[in-house]
Each structure stands twice: as structure tokens, then as C-alpha cells.
Structure 1
Amino acid sequence: MSVKHAFYAQSGGVTAVINASACAVIETARRYDDKIGKVYAGHNGILGALREELIDTSLESHETIGALLRTPGGAFGSCRYKLKPIGESEAEYRRLIEVFRAHDIGYFFYNGGNDSMDTALKVSQLSEQMGYPLTCIGVPKTIDNDLTVTDNCPGFGSAAKYLAVSTKEASHDIASMCDTSTKVFVMEVMGRNAGWLAAAAGLAARQENDPPHIIVFPEIPLNRERFLQKVKETTEQEGYCVIVASEGARYEDGSFVSASTTVVDSFGHQQLGGVAPALCTTIKQELGYKYHYAVADYLQRSARHIASRVDVEQAYAVGKAAVELAVTGRNAVMSAIIRESNAPYRWSVGEASLDKVANFERKMPMDFITEDSFGITRSCREYLEPLIEGEEYPAYLNGLPRFARLKKVMVEKRLNKPFEL
């Protein structure tokens, strides 16, 4: 009996280290060639399976696959595409099984966040109903750090490091010019419902009154008057004020500080962005201070040049563990990081049932946020600090990082009909 092939796909917003997980899945699968045949990667995530666009990673050299460890972005392409609920339509899920059956695929590794774990769970359930054995394993990834069960999410540590460093550097700039120029600086970071990234910027503050002076969390409704008073007091005392604001910041009535009322993404979420200029406009109108703002946007999730070594190691570890879970017979689970101690920092990799992860969201604990709602507590710092430890620089050529360049050779299609999305 021939061994089954594996399908690997990247999903959602990419990170500085998601390719480290891809590297681990492919390298580990190659070591288990008595149980896993080839690894096919989905071109542009799950769409690659629906469209039967499969990349044959066996045609990539060991050196190229190894270079993924230090390459940002999604090397095989990712997508924001949410499969319909099974009760609403089974067509997409049945198409996945058809493609997997046509290419003799017996393993499905899905590298993503909450929605991705839901997809992996549903594919596992439907494959069983259809009588087609398929091992489905989730590989955690998200800079939002909002997956449950796992202590933290690969991708977050590097984004956190970038934001903490950027906040610290920008604060020195503002401090040096505040007497005659900018008084207020606002940095907008990602995070719709969970303020982990905003909290990470708080690591820049080592001593009392160090910037950032104000952090705006999505978990805490923003009181406009208290916010403006804090800005005024800080500026008068320190000469300047540095603010880090989550894109998902909301006012007390539940409305976003800044959001489009008409534009939604593929998951039906309001398109966010613009909280920094919105806050700056309010500050200018009410307090008259000169301001500047920055939007970290894609920079925070793609900054491989300053990735956390811990994050890189964990991204590789969860990819490796996913394959090991699969070949030992585990199914419908996600590899997960387990924190064993803070000081010294120790961690290991375990597993979480997909039904305990899918569509759940972990927000900042209230004891991680200071009483005035504008900062992080010592317990939050103790949780975050180990995740940004160490540097894992890519190789450089002529002053720029060298990243992997894949051939991306497609597998010949075996189904006659294309799939209409």
C-alpha cells in the first residue's frame, strides 16, 4: 500500500515566521518518507485546494526549503477566504475531499488562526462522513496572539519585538524635538478585539514615566475626557506624550474610534484603520498640540530582520510537532505551545483539540492592564518579555536580507471541472 501525500496551506494574514512553520512541516515530512509521500502546498492557501492548484514541494531543494526559516511573508501564498458553514453549503468541503482523493492526499496541515482551525475541524468531520480517511492537523499562527489553549501564537513574538523596538526608537525622536516641534506621537497597531500587540509596545517602558505613556486597548472602552486629560497631564509633565492605539479601539457606546461603515472584509468584519489620525485630530482640536502619527500596518507582521529568536524557534517547533502528531495517529488537533516557567523561560509543545480552539478568541486578561486602563502591569510584562527574546537575523547580501525563492512547480490537475468560487 502506497503512502499518502500531505497538503499544507497558509491562511490569513502572514507573519515574519509563518514560513518557519512551513519549513518545519516539509523538512519533518521528508524524514517520515515511509509514512508521508510528497508535501503539496496550496497556492494561495485553501484556494489552492479548491482550484486544484497544488505546488509540488518535493521539487524544491533542501537548501531552498531551509531558507524558508528566515523568509517573511507566505512563501506559497495565503488568502482571506472563509469557507461557508457546512449546514449552509457542503459544496466547498466536498470539493476539498474530491481534490484530496484525486491526488491521494491523506494529511491536511492548515497553518492559520481561529477561522483556519474551524476549517480544519470541519474538513476532518466531513471526510469521516464521506468515508475518506484524512488526518487534519492545525498549525497555529497569528500576530494577534488570540488563539486559545496555546500559551502564545507563533508570529506574535516577532511583531511584538518590532513594535516595542519601534516605540522605543520613535520615542527618542519625539523627546529630542518636543520643545519646539511635535508634542504628541501616536502609533496605530493591529488588533481588532484583542490588545496583545498594543500591550507589547508597552515593553519599551523600562522605568516609571517612560514612553509609551498611554496605551489604548480594544478591551477597555475609551473615555474621551479621561484620555484627553491624561494626554494633557503627560505633555505638561514630560514635555511630550507617546500613545500606542489598537486599531480596534472603541468608545464607551461601542462604536469604533475609526472605522468604515460601508467597507467589510471577506469575513464580514468592518474595515478598520485610521484610529491614529482620528485620535490626533481630537487632540489637536481639544488641546492644540502639534502631532505626528505612524501606522505600523504590514510592517509589524513582516519585519523578519528583527524577528524574535524565541518566535522563530516556536514557529518551527509547532510545524515539526504537527507532522509528528499526524504520523502517530492524532487527528483534529492543533500543535500548541505550553509555558512551563517564566524565569527562566521554559516551554514545550503539546496539543489542543480543534474544537477547543476553532472560533474562540482570547483577549487580554484584565489583570494585565493597569487600573487607569492606559498601561500594562508587571504580570503582563512577565508574560510578554520572554517572547521577544533573542535575535535570529537572516543572511545579508549587499546590505539587504536574502530570502528564499521558490520554483513553485504545479502538480498536473486530475479533475476535469474547475471550481467556481
Structure 2
Amino acid sequence: MATGNLLYAQSGGVTAVINATASGVITEARERRIRVLAAREGILGALREDLVDTARESIASIRALAHTPGGAFGSCRYKLKSLEEDRAKYERLLDVFRAHDVRWFLYNGGNDSADTALKVSRLAAASAYPLTCIGVPKTIDNDLAVTDCSPGFGSAAKYTAVSVREAALDVAAMAGSSTRVFVYEAMGRHAGWLAAAAGLAGDGADDAPHLILFPERAYDEADFLARVQAVVDRVGWCVVVASEGIRTADGGFVAESGGGTDAFGHAQLGGVAPYLAGRVKDALGLKVHWATPDYLQRSARHIASQTDLDQAIAVGRAAVRYALERRNATMPAVRRVSDNPYRWTIEPAPLARVANREKKMPAAFLRRDGYGITAAARRYLQPLVRGEAYPPYRDGLPAYVSLKNTPVAKKLPDWP
């Protein structure tokens, strides 16, 4: 039987189903009699030797993770640099792994997390420490390479499409005497997958959303304003969905806030919806409302997609199997077998093909005029939002779980 402990950590922005992946990891490991430790606040917890023992959690609590949003162990935005630049930090990680007999490391995150898991695997190999590193996919942006889709995206996509459809009914009801244009901002720095998902809200040419702005297409203000006016003239009102990462032709973000960069070196973006709403109001004289759902998009477990939930659990279970099979520097990826009926499977993908790569919207998914999605995009997106995975409710509200997160005794000096 395999000996040693498995360390699981969450990274980056959480999703509505990242805890479902954690549930899959812990459940699979328990079935194989492997002890699972979890790092508080992702890689920071590993560096600080701030670990919790998931064996102290009840089976019921681990099962309840599958319907609880947020990050049960805490996540972080913390970018480790190259092995050469941050060697002391990587070596500290190995010291923590040695101290707690960690033989399997599962890092649940996006592109940067895949890169970290890959680097840790290489250092462990160079140091002759028996460690298997697995990158576990997660991101609402759906921009991970190799995998057909990223767990977390389907639920955020469902929330986006539902929100846009419902808001459109509100706008239509009030357009005669009130709001004529509504602008909805979707997450997506470089890839417009979530904005595209809003396109599922309507089927006909005059159904909302009438205009979608993608990062993959340069923002042309004059053309955009002309199209808004044309829709209002034709339909009586207009719903716009804009990805937060839309850029002008010179490459500058339309909504760059000037607030510097985040922990990953990305420019801080600050409100494309209010900016566009202001331009529509000033240039066209129309009454405008806007919404920036922000964290609501990624935390909306109450409207999660069953497809997304199933895939989130599946990658967690597969990650444990791959780890025990010593498939080092690997990620469990979703492979689409067919569109109709929708079928999928989980297959191993090398982290070297995932790390720091970005999957953008294919040109075939963007309507020729650049303001909507094609039939091909619908075929891709619709299966990912199917199925209702409602959490249990108590007193009218979702019943979520809080773990005990019993700490593991430290064995090393504090990390500065």
C-alpha cells in the first residue's frame, strides 16, 4: 500500500464548485486510505507550514463541500517566480513536504498554478525527493489549455446567461418610460468565454443580449455607439454584455483602473460597465443602467450547472488516482467525446502543455460582425450549463458547511 500524505491546496479566484473538487479529492483519498492535509490560503499555507488535517472532518462535512461555494481551506493570489529567482521558497516547500511526509501534491487552480506545480515537480526530481505533483483544473474564465472546459466555468456561465435573460425582461418592461440600455459586465481578462455564455440567454436576432463585446475583438467606440442606437431604434431597448478585458485597437484596456497590478502581474481592471454606460448616456442621451456582478459570478452555487458539478468532482477523484499512479506533472483534463448527446471523459494532460498557456475563443465562435456568438459556440456552450445542481435549503437559504480545519502541529521554524 502507498505510504505518505497527500497535500491539497486551492489557488486563485475560487469558483462555485472548487469545493466539490476538494470533496472529490478527499473522498477518493479516503477510499484508498491516504491521509489528506490541506494548506490554508493555497501555496502561502504550504510555505508557512499552516496545514490542516482533513481526517478530522466528518464524512457528512466532506460530502457537504460538494454544494458549498467559496474556498473551504482558503485560497490566495501569490505568484512564485522562476526556480532561480525564488529558489529559497521552493526549497522551503520541499522542507515542509519532508517534515510532513508529503508524497503527493495537488494544486487546484488555473494557469499560474499549473506552472507552480510543474516547477515544484522539477525541483523535487532534481533534489531526489519522491514527490508526485498534479495540477487540478479550475477557473471560471475557461482559458486553460488542453482541457475542453474548466471546472467552475459551466456554473458561472449558467449564472451569466440566467442573469442576462432575467434582467432583459426587466428592461423590456420599463423601456417605454425608463431604462433604454442595460450594460452587464462579465469577467474575462483576455478570453471572452463568460461574455459568450451570455449569448445563450436569447435565440432570435432581437433577443437579448443584443451586443456582446469580446476581448478577442478590438473595441471601436463609434461603431459600438451606432449599433446601440440602431438596436434601440429597432427593438425599443438594448442589452449589452461586455467582457471586463475589452481593449482598444492600440491594445489598451478600456477599463484599466490605473490601480497598478495584482499578485500575478496583471493590470487591475476597474469597471467597464459603468464606463460604457457613461459613454452611451453622454453620446446618445439614453437612460442607462449597468451591473458588475464580479464575485457573484463565481460564487453562485445556488444556480450551479450539474455538468460543472459532475466534472469538478471527477477531476478531483482523477487527480488522486493519477498521483497514486505516479503520473508526475500531470493534470486531469476534460475531453469532449460528443456534442449530442453530450458525453465527456477525463484524461491525463502534461502540465508542460498547460502551464502559462491561454485558450481564447476560437474565431469560429464569434459572429462575423464581432458582436455575438455563432451556432458553433452554442453547440459548445449549451451542454456546459445543463442540469440544476441545487444545494439543500434551510429556512429559505442554502445550507452550506464550515469545516473545523483542525491545524497540524508545526515542525519547522516559522517562514519569514
What TM-score comes out, normalization by structure 2 length?
0.99
1: CA distance, partners of 2:16 / 2:111:
19
Q: Decide whether the 8 Å contact of 2:80 with 2:86 is kept in 1.
A: no
User: Are residues 1:352 and 2:349 paired?
Assistant: yes
Q: CA deviation at 1:281?
A: 1.0
CA 1:117 to 1:2, structure 2 compared with 1: closer, same or farther past 3 Å? closer
Q: Which runs of 5+ in 2 are unaligned?
A: none
Q: Residue type matched to 2:375 in 1?
A: R
1:271-310 equivalence runs, <5 A: 271-310=268-307
What residue in structure 2 maps to residue 127 of structure 1?
A: 124
Q: CA deviation at 1:207?
A: 1.9
User: Are residues 1:225 and 2:238 paired?
Assistant: no
User: Are residues 1:27 and 2:24 paired?
Assistant: no
What residue in structure 1 maps to residue 44 of structure 2?
A: 47
Q: Which runs of 5+ in 1 are unaligned?
A: none
What residue in structure 1 maps to residue 169 of structure 2?
A: 172
What residue in structure 2 maps to residue 366 of structure 1?
A: 363
2: CA distance, partners of 1:322 / 1:75:
18
1:23-102 equivalence runs, <5 A: 23-33=23-33, 36=34, 38-102=35-99
What residue in structure 2 maps to residue 247 of structure 1?
A: 244
What TM-score comes out, normalization by structure 1 length?
0.98
1:97-176 equivalence runs, <5 A: 97-176=94-173
Q: What is the SS of the residue equivalent to 1:347?
A: strand
Q: Decide whether the 8 Å contact of 1:127 with 1:133 is kept in 2.
A: yes
Q: Residue type matched to 1:4 in 2?
A: G
1: CA distance, partners of 2:193 / 2:50:
35
Q: Decide whether the 8 Å contact of 1:258 with 1:278 is kept in 2.
A: yes
Q: Decide whether the 8 Å contact of 2:2 with 2:324 is kept in 1.
A: no
2: CA distance, partners of 1:418 / 1:246:
42
Q: Decide whether the 8 Å contact of 2:146 with 2:349 is kept in 1.
A: yes
Q: Decide whether the 8 Å contact of 1:259 with 1:272 is kept in 2.
A: yes
Identity %: 58
Cα offsets for 1:351-384 (capped at 9, x unmatched): 1100000000000011100011000000000000
RMSD, aligned α-carbons: 0.9
Q: Residue type matched to 2:357 in 1?
A: F
What residue in structure 1 maps to residue 415 of structure 2?
A: 419
Q: Decide whether the 8 Å contact of 1:277 with 1:293 is kept in 2.
A: yes
User: Are residues 1:194 and 2:175 paired?
Assistant: no
Cα offsets for 1:141-180 (capped at 9, x unmatched): 0000000000000000000000000000000000000011
Q: What is the SS of the residue equivalent to 2:212?
A: strand
User: Are residues 1:332 and 2:329 paired?
Assistant: yes
Q: Decide whether the 8 Å contact of 1:84 with 1:92 is kept in 2.
A: no
Q: CA deviation at 1:2?
A: 7.5
2: CA distance, partners of 1:162 / 1:3:
42
1: CA distance, partners of 2:183 / 2:121:
44
Q: What is the SS of the residue equivalent to 2:352?
A: helix
Q: CA deviation at 1:208?
A: 2.2
Q: CA deviation at 1:89?
A: 2.4
Q: Decide whether the 8 Å contact of 1:110 with 1:137 is kept in 2.
A: yes
Q: Residue type matched to 2:225 in 1?
A: L
2: CA distance, partners of 1:90 / 1:342:
45
What residue in structure 1 maps to residue 11 of structure 2?
A: 11
User: Are residues 1:342 and 2:343 paired?
Assistant: no
Q: Residue type matched to 2:325 in 1?
A: T
What residue in structure 2 maps to residue 315 of structure 1?
A: 312
1: CA distance, partners of 2:110 / 2:372:
27
2: CA distance, partners of 1:313 / 1:43:
25
1: CA distance, partners of 2:237 / 2:354:
42
